Structure 1
Amino acid sequence: MERKLEVNNDGVSSSPQMKMLRFFSMIHKLKTIKRAGWVRTRVSNPESVPDHMYRMAIMSMFIPSSTGVNKNRIMKLALIHDMAECIVGDITPFDNVSKDEKYRREQEAMQELTELAGPEVGQEIYTLWKEYEQQSTPEAKWVKDLDRYEMIQQAFDYEKQENKLGSLQEFFDCTKGKFQNEEIKEWVNELERQRDTNIKESE
């Protein structure tokens, strides 16, 4: 079977397979990007962006089937929602970048990744990313909750790991009152109960 060659902006021929491998290399960059919030608060050995997305994907398996949502779609959303960071980095509110500018940068990054991934896979990835950004489905709303929950779970894990109980309160404060799904709220309540108990026992 003859490989179809295309010519990129530099005049260099590239096949769909070459683009796919380029896409894989771009995704590899995520492994080297540490989550900015943990870097800023100086936790030791901060997690990478895909560390965060992987645990979100695993957490999606624990969503009760009775909710009626598509858990496979939630898992996919979890695995791609921060994909643009392989190009733009982990932009946080402390970077003084407006929401509109952050969205513009990430949209351009996703369009670049979509082109490399090809028409079928690329379109699926871009559609999932837009769905998450626009919070247009129940599945996207679940992923937003998982995103916030995974962060406070990680904060609690770091507090225990470094024996600094209560030191990462800001991450709990910034998610307060923002969870939408009752099941995730139950997870949050149990996490906070365990954390409060540990803090009291350490005093």
Structure 2
Amino acid sequence: MSDERRILLAEKTPFPDDLDERLRAQLTFLVEVDQLKTVLRQSPLAAADRRENDAEHSWHLAMMVLVLAEHSDRPIDVGHTVQLVLLHDLVEIYAGDTPLYDSDAGSGQREREVVAADELFGLLPADQAQRMRVLWDEFEERRTPEAKFAKAMDRLQPLLLNWMARGGTWRTPGVTADHVRTRKAVIGEASVSLWEAGRRLIDEGEARGWSRRATPQG
């Protein structure tokens, strides 16, 4: 990592000198996370012929939590789960997006994202920085019902978009329907019914030729 100090977006148009210090830090963070809108993902949009960005993805996950919470196998705090999905990809502002089916890009992902979390959340006042870092860690560790459901939404949302695109990233070279099933199986840790539905879409997509069948062994 370079020792050169990162230039923050808020420094391009500095806030007035007499602004409250705590508010200055909060606004600096909020301006900085505007960059989430520029981080492109691999998933295609259902509504337009382009790829989605991380901000759109996070918003969509929040909507999914609100709508699909009843399908969680365990009771969840909806508001807490929404916080998890809104925060989970902020680190990609500095660490970049890692495509699900790109194993090479996944090398060192955790290390990059931890460094990014320290830097990005560190822009906030200490109490809020700690709170957001705890939430980010909770999502990553998937130990709570809320974190498991948040992760399930993170895997279900692109599945829906790929279905609408009649393949989308399922057509990535070297990826088979079995790879998709393996990557998406985490949905079942939070909701048996949602994983049954997701698996049904994957199976039907494979049957329609939208993903590759696994090459028979032997």
* TM-score of Structure 1 vs Structure 2, range by shorter chain: 0.7 to 0.9
| Aligned ranges 1:105-144 → 2 under 5 Å | 105-144=112-151
Mapped contact 2:121–2:132 kept (Cα < 8 A): yes
Query: What CA RMSD, in Å, does the superposition of the two structures yield over aligned residues?
Result: 3.3
**Residue 60 of structure 1 pairs with residue 68 of structure 2:** no
Secondary structure at the counterpart of residue 181 of structure 2: coil
Identity over aligned pairs, percent: 23
Instruction: Report the CA distance shift for 1:95/1:194 in structure 2 as closer, same or farther (over 3 A).
Output: closer
1:24 positional shift: 1.3
Instruction: Report the CA distance shift for 1:127/1:153 in structure 2 as closer, same or farther (over 3 A).
Output: same
Mapped contact 2:92–2:113 kept (Cα < 8 A): yes
Matched positions, count: 181
Instruction: Report the CA distance shift for 1:189/1:27 in structure 2 as closer, same or farther (over 3 A).
Output: same
The residue aligned with 2:52 is 47
TM-score scaled to structure 1, two decimals? 0.73
Give CA deviations for 1:90-119 in whole Å, capped at 9, x if unaligned: 0236372455x2112111111122221212
Instruction: Measure, in 2, the Cα distance between the counterparts of 1:195 and 1:73.
Output: 33
The residue aligned with 1:102 is 109
Judging by fraction of residues, say which structure has more helix.
Answer: 1
Q: Which moved more, 1:188-197 or 1:143-152?
A: 188-197
Instruction: Report the CA distance shift for 1:78/1:9 in structure 2 as closer, same or farther (over 3 A).
Output: closer
Give CA deviations for 1:160-201 in whole Å, capped at 9, x if unaligned: xxxxx688354854341513221321431454477579x49x
> In structure 1, which of residues 21, 32, 43 is the aligned counterpart of residue 38 of structure 2?
32
Instruction: Measure, in 2, the Cα distance between the counterparts of 1:167 and 1:68.
Output: 32
Instruction: Measure, in 1, the Cα distance between the counterparts of 2:135 and 2:103.
Output: 26
**Residue 168 of structure 1 pairs with residue 170 of structure 2:** yes
Mapped contact 1:57–1:75 kept (Cα < 8 A): yes
The residue aligned with 1:188 is 198
Instruction: Measure, in 1, the Cα distance between the counterparts of 2:168 and 2:198.
Output: 15
Instruction: Measure, in 1, the Cα distance between the counterparts of 2:169 and 2:75.
Output: 37
Instruction: Measure, in 1, the Cα distance between the counterparts of 2:91 and 2:198.
Output: 28
**Residue 83 of structure 1 pairs with residue 93 of structure 2:** no
Letter of the structure 2 residue corresponding to residue 168 of structure 1: W
Runs (4+) of structure 1 exceeding 6 A deviation are none
Letter of the structure 1 residue corresponding to residue 198 of structure 2: V
Letter of the structure 2 residue corresponding to residue 151 of structure 1: P
The residue aligned with 2:14 is none
> In structure 2, which of residues 151, 154, 157 is the aligned counterpart of residue 150 of structure 1?
157
TM-score scaled to structure 2, two decimals? 0.69
Instruction: Report the CA distance shift for 1:191/1:9 in structure 2 as closer, same or farther (over 3 A).
Output: closer
Task: Structure 2: give runs of 5+ residues left out of the alignment.
Answer: 12-16, 210-218
1:121 positional shift: 2.3
Mapped contact 2:73–2:192 kept (Cα < 8 A): no
Mapped contact 1:152–1:172 kept (Cα < 8 A): no
Q: Which moved more, 1:105-114 or 1:89-98?
A: 89-98
